[in-house]
Amino acid sequence: MILQENPFPGVCGRVCPHPCEGVCNRREFDEAIAIHSIERFLAETAGRYDLKPILTRLAAKKQRIAIVGAGPAGLSAAYFLALLGYSCDVFEAMPEPGGVLRWGIPVYRLPLAALRSDIANIEAQNVRILTGQKIGSEFLQDAAGRYDAVFMGCGHSRTVKLGVPGEKTNAIENGLQFLGQLRQGNTIPLLGVSAVIGGGNTAIDVARSVIRCGGKAVILYRRRRRDMPAFEEEVQMGIEEGVELRELVTPLGITTDGAQYTLTLQEMKISGEDSRGRANILPDEGKTRELRVERVFKATGAEPAEDWYNPPDKTKVSLTLSHTILISPESGPALAFGGDLTNETKSVAHAVASGKQAAMALDIFFHGGMEAIVPKLAECRVGQGPSLSMEMYMEGSRRLRNTHVVSYEEINTDHFQFQPRITRPRLLKEERRTSFKEIDLKISTNLAIREAERCFNCGICNQCDNCYMFCPDIAVIREKNNNERHINYDYCKGCGLCVVECPRNAMTLREEDI
Amino acid sequence: MELDTKDDEYMYSGHVGCPGCGAAIAMRFTLKALGAKTIVVLPACCWSIIAGPYPQSTLKVPVIHSAFETGGAVASGVRAALDVKGDTETTVVTWAGDGGTFDIGFQALSGAVERNEDFIYVCYDNEAYMNTGVQRSSSTPYGAWTTTTPGQDWKKMRKKNIVEALVAHRIPYAATANIAFPEDLVRKVQKAKALKGSKFIHVYASCPTGWRIPSEMSVKIARMAVQTNIFPLYEVENGNKYTINYKPKEYLVREYFKLQGRFRHLTDRDLDQIQEMVNEDWEVLLRKAAERV
């Protein structure tokens, strides 16, 4: 089920910040379901027993598609295009696929085996990944004739310039490169204090990696902790491990005496908040501090490594979707851009979403042209956001579901008992400081089942049979296969008891049209 | 939810019960627990109508319609006749409303259980004479509107505690049950079936028509009656061993009262007073069950 919609359950079960749990109805009852733990458990169980998914696949198509970049967006696009019947070649500059998953995210959050297992499943869908193939801008011309479309998922791998003196010399090291070196298997012993400039996940990853290399880490962030784009849980764990966080400071300059660097830090002050609730900041004139450190890393925002990776200006764009930009030039292959190149939120889940959206959009484009894309995608939407279902796109049974999103008020909580959410077993912080071992440990089958049983199953009948039991007129029929329930309209008096007693709002009552 | 019963149904669809009828739900669960080898004795009550006029019947088991006051006596006779035939398998069940139990049928019931006749007496309680148009009974709760306690003349007497009256007869088994708790209800009926002698089960069965509640709320309100301690689930063995079967969430009684049209006239002061009565009754029960000293 998951693999029909997401080729990265092992990865997402670990590194996705699970916004789904933030809107889980169970949260208002006791605590949200630990969806990410269950996702990871399923991925691991499938791996352990070597279970192969039975995926819906469409008939083979003649079109060929090139994917540039084997990160989460590119691999997702290739995976979904393969399910839709296309043959895909993925070009990757690095010696191994994965992009930020392979070379960016530290191994204590995402072990190599988990990533490789997800990628192996993608390759098993007839996706060809060509590693060590650096693609230049001329590729877009060369691709004509060989490919009918190109998906650009090259990601953001170059760190944005800070504009601080000393940046041009080697004084300031690149955080992403540091993470990359670690993931290439290098051991980098660090002594003394490292300053990490930034407030995103990269800054946290760098700081926590510094600790694991034996150093001390100080994060310098120009806003407040609560304004950090980094996931709060990651920040919290970093601080537990000994990362020091200095808020409301920004580097002005850097000098060195050969052994140490001296950072001059401008203190910042808050002047109101922006529309998203982030602090607006101004330099607090005259207030500066100095900080002596052994190393300085910058881990501020990233941008595409080469300018031609970016989607061109608006005039040439044919269609802008929530996660993808499409271009249909007069000659040559169609172009789709995804992943960090187009996503406002730079997360793995959003990258997968862009790959899926691009795959569907290209499929529609080949059959019905640009105009057909938006209406067709609207038919495959899940919930109120931009999420799309590949199963629905392939005419699966999910199409038959009521599209109504069940709210907490619609759940009959009389039928549920309070039960605490599972706490995922973790390494102790002492163990975390000294090794790159994965922090989150496996959960047992028993725990995973218990957690899954907490699910309300909002809006989806799970044959609990409350409707059948409480019907005063024995007018709810259980089908012989035991999977379906029907109302016997000859005898139903319309009392509505079944609808109220349905714990999960899987039933509705409406007046008959006369 | 899964009940410890077979999937067999002993009731037909198409009966003339009102939409959302709690008594119909009670019958359905009870017969599922008892099975086919059952004879139902029906003194006058809502179910006399729901069961249908001869030759039609809503039930798949034999039914004897009887006079209002004779639930206990007719059941004793049926039991005796079965015994003469050597049939010890068949269970005799009197299925009476609160009027036929608390009021009109009380002497026959008292006599039958005093003799410890081997039968189950089920009182499905909808707290008034609903079949004849909502007249108050001695089961109608304090505060309720009925057609004979209209307007400001709402009932100012407390509901008779029928289970205690039966417990005073020292019968082998007396219990309360509720349509919103099917597992508990089925278990109690099965337990009663397995015991020899007189068994009494007091089943709370909501009445959308008489209580002025929406039909879809009838189970919800029944559940609320338990959760507020208005109708605790408990059982008494041999007239002295009390067991409380469900630990309620102890919602305030006003949560229960505000859902029902028959209590609409009650003021906050009335509700406070009722809360005190409920608390008092609950304390008494806790002491009997040795959960309070």
What CATH number corresponds to the domain at position B207?
A: 3.40.50.970
| Closest residue to B216, CB basis, from A465, A474, A496 | A496
Q: Kindly give the interhelix angle for A72-83 and A112-123, rounded to the nearest 10 degrees.
A: 30
Cβ-based contacts of B21 with chain A (< 8 Å): 472, 495
In 3D space, the residue among A46, A44, A2 whose CA is nearest the CA of residue A20 turns out to be A2
Query: For chain A (length 514 residues), average pLDDT per consecutive 10?
Result: 92 92 95 96 92 88 94 96 95 94 94 95 94 87 88 87 71 89 91 92 95 94 92 93 93 85 91 86 89 91 83 79 89 89 88 96 93 93 91 89 92 94 91 92 94 95 93 92 88 96 93 81
pLDDT value of position A360: 97
Cβ-based contacts of A502 with chain B (< 8 Å): none
Own/partner contacts of A238-243, CB < 8 Å, gap of 24 or more, are A238/A204, A238/A207, A238/A208, A240/A429, A240/A432, A241/A208, A241/A211, A241/A429, A241/A432, A241/A433, A242/A211, A242/A216, A242/A217, A242/A433, A243/A204, A243/A207, A243/A208, A243/A211, A243/A217, A243/A218, A243/A219
- B135 belongs to a structural domain: yes
Cβ-based contacts of A496 with chain B (< 8 Å): 19-20, 214-216
CATH no., domain A2-157+304-400: 3.50.50.60
**CATH architecture of structural domain A158-303:** 3-Layer(bba) Sandwich (3.50)
- Mean pLDDT over B45-73 rounds to 95
Give the number of other Cβ atoms within 10 Å of residue A23's Cβ: 12
- Among A410, A414, A415, A473, most B C-beta atoms within 10 A, so best to mutate, is A473
Q: Do residues A36 and A8 make contact, with C-beta atoms less than 8 angstroms apart?
A: no
pLDDT value of position A486: 92
pLDDT, greater one: B161 or A161: B161
pLDDT value of position B1: 62
Report d(CA A125, CA A57) in Å as an integer: 10
Cβ separation of A493 and B15 shorter than 8 Å? Answer: no
Cβ-based contacts of A472 with chain B (< 8 Å): 17, 19-22, 24-25, 28
- B48 belongs to a structural domain: yes
Nearest-Cα distance to chain B for A418, in Å, is 12
Q: CATH says A462-514 is which class?
A: alpha beta
pLDDT value of position A314: 72
Number of Cβ pairs < 8 A linking chain A and chain B = 68
Residue with tokens 């930034």: A198
- B53 belongs to a structural domain: yes
Report d(CA A173, CA A259) in Å as an integer: 15
| Closest residue to A493, CB basis, from B7, B19, B25 | B19
| Per-residue model confidence as pLDDT tens digits over B24-52 | 999 999 999 999 999 999 999 999 999 99
Which token pair is A32?
């949200």
Residue with tokens 């029960």: B285
Integer angstrom CA distances of residue A360 from A15, A91, A280, A374, B126: 25, 20, 40, 10, 59
Residue with tokens 């944005």: A160
pLDDT value of position B4: 67
Cβ-based contacts of A490 with chain B (< 8 Å): 13-14
The DSSP result for A477-490, as a single string, is EE-TTSS-EEE-TT
- Among A467, A497, A505, most B C-beta atoms within 10 A, so best to mutate, is A497
Report d(CA B152, CA A294) in Å as an integer: 86
- Among B209, B219, B246, B249, most A C-beta atoms within 10 A, so best to mutate, is B219
- B13 belongs to a structural domain: no
pLDDT value of position B42: 97
> Which chain B residue's Cα is nearest to A413?
B220
Chain A residues bordering chain B (beta-carbon distance below 8 Å): 414, 464-466, 469-475, 478, 488, 490-491, 493-497, 499-501, 509
pLDDT value of position A401: 86
Give the single-character DSSP code of B91: E
pLDDT value of position A168: 67
pLDDT value of position A511: 84
| Per-residue model confidence as pLDDT tens digits over A72-118 | 999 999 999 999 999 999 999 999 999 999 999 999 999 999 999 99
- Mean pLDDT over B137-152 rounds to 96
The domain total for chain B is 1
Backbone angles phi, psi at A429, to 5 degrees: -65, -30
pLDDT value of position A1: 73
- Residue B2 scores a pLDDT above 70: no
Residue B116, domain extent: 22-288
pLDDT value of position B278: 97
Which token pair is A117?
């297992």
| Closest residue to B13, CB basis, from A475, A478, A509 | A475
All CATH 3.30.70.20 domain ranges in chain A, comma separated? 462-514
Q: Do residues A384 and A367 make contact, with C-beta atoms less than 8 angstroms apart?
A: no
All CATH 3.50.50.60 domain ranges in chain A, comma separated? 2-157+304-400, 158-303
Cβ separation of A499 and B216 shorter than 8 Å? Answer: yes
- B269 belongs to a structural domain: yes
Residue B3's SS3 state is coil
Cβ-based contacts of A482 with chain B (< 8 Å): none
Cβ-based contacts of B251 with chain A (< 8 Å): none
Cβ separation of A497 and B223 shorter than 8 Å? Answer: no
Cβ separation of B13 and A490 shorter than 8 Å? Answer: yes
- B139 belongs to a structural domain: yes
pLDDT value of position A41: 96
Residue B124's SS3 state is strand
- B195 belongs to a structural domain: yes
